[in-house]
């Protein structure tokens, strides 16, 4: 019996919760205040620090500098939200998933901090993609897909002038590379792909599978686990895929628990 089947019972046991969360997701995936609060707090402190080991401790860091860096990241996220609200919400969810994976992989400190910022900004290059392509209901043509595939490079171009974000540029550039070398933009493979990019890629794909988009339906938990198993060593770093499978095996709450509770005023 494979891991997907072994975990099926645990997933099924959360079916009632999952149903309610799915209904909630159809309300456009409003992120909970708690998650947004965590994000702002994180950005206002450790997330907004640069990453060299010789930097002063957080308490010695000038508050106005922390604030400027946090505001830069939030400003970029706001620009992405103005362009494409779905991708901004997706980016916040990917940050949460990438953080969980980083924890499970035993990371802490600067590497986790970089991965979190990289996850928030991994798709910022979609600002440069025409709306007609981003929101196209049908399949993209080859030329349109080629333009869509330019978003990592365009994201790096947007972020490069911001010096303190330099450590995350490789993650933005390579978050669509595949472990077997068949991804883009450079087709690098295995450990040539920056580790943070490999973590964000798994988190990114989990979110893409968990949500219905105009071009395909969402997968259920067992299907997501099955895809991670099939993609391990091909699309995904096997160690990171294993950590993701282990994490998702805890049940639907781990993916959908970051969504806001249904509110009677949600549709007003
Ligand atoms: Fe992307
Ligand atoms: Fe993404």
pLDDT digits over 216-266, tens only? 677 888 899 999 999 999 999 999 999 999 999 887 777 777 665 543 332
Ligand whose nearest atom lies closest to the CA of 177: 1
pLDDT under 70 in the chain at which residues? Answer: 1-67, 213-216, 258-268
pLDDT of residue 44: 60
CA 173 / ligand 2 centre spacing (Å): 12
CA 21 / ligand 1 centre spacing (Å): 25
Cα–Cα distance measured from residue 234 to residue 131, given in angstroms and rounded to the nearest whole number: 31
pLDDT of residue 46: 56
Q: Domains in the chain, ordered, with CATH?
A: 3-256 (1.10.3210.10)
Cα–Cα distance measured from residue 49 to residue 165, given in angstroms and rounded to the nearest whole number: 10
CA 108 / ligand 2 centre spacing (Å): 23
CA 268 / ligand 2 centre spacing (Å): 30
Q: What is the largest CA-CA distance in the chain?
A: 55
CA 132 / ligand 1 centre spacing (Å): 17
pLDDT of residue 244: 96
**First-residue to last-residue Cα distance in the chain:** 48
Q: Of 239, 234, 256, 248, whose CA–CA distance to 106 is shortest?
A: 239
Residue 74 contacts residue 17 (beta carbons within 8 Å): no
Residue 94 contacts residue 203 (beta carbons within 8 Å): yes
CA 56 / ligand 1 centre spacing (Å): 33
pLDDT of residue 229: 97
CA 123 / ligand 2 centre spacing (Å): 5
pTM of structure: 0.80
CA 227 / ligand 1 centre spacing (Å): 18
pLDDT of residue 50: 47
CA 213 / ligand 1 centre spacing (Å): 14
């Amino acid at each position: 019996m494979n891991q997907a089947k072994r975990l099926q019972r645990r997933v099924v046991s959360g079916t009632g919760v999952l149903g309610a969360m799915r209904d909630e997701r159809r309300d456009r995936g409003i992120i909970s205040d708690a998650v947004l609060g965590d994000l702002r707090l994180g950005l206002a402190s450790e997330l907004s620090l640069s990453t060299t080991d010789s930097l002063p401790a957080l308490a010695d860091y000038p508050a106005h500098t922390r604030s400027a860096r946090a505001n830069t990241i939030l400003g970029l996220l706001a620009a992405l939200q103005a362009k494409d609200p779905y991708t901004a919400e997706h980016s916040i969810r990917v940050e949460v998933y990438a953080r969980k994976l980083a924890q499970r992989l035993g990371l802490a400190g600067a590497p986790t901090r970089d991965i979190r910022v990289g996850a928030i900004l991994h798709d910022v290059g979609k600002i440069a993609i025409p709306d007609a392509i981003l929101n196209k209901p049908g399949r993209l043509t080859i030329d349109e897909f080629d333009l869509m595939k330019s978003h990592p490079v365009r994201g790096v171009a947007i972020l490069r002038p911001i010096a303190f974000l330099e450590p995350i540029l490789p993650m933005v550039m390579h978050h669509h590379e595949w472990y077997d070398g068949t991804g883009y933009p450079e087709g690098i493979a295995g450990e040539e792909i920056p580790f943070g990019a490999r973590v964000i890629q798994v988190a990114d794909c989990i979110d893409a599978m968990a949500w219905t988009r105009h071009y395909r339906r969402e997968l259920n938990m067992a299907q997501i686990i099955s895809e991670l198993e099939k993609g391990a060593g091909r699309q995904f770093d096997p160690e990171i895929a294993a950590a993701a499978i282990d994490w998702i095996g805890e049940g639907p709450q781990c993916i959908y628990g970051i969504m806001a509770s249904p509110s009677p005023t949600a549709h007003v």
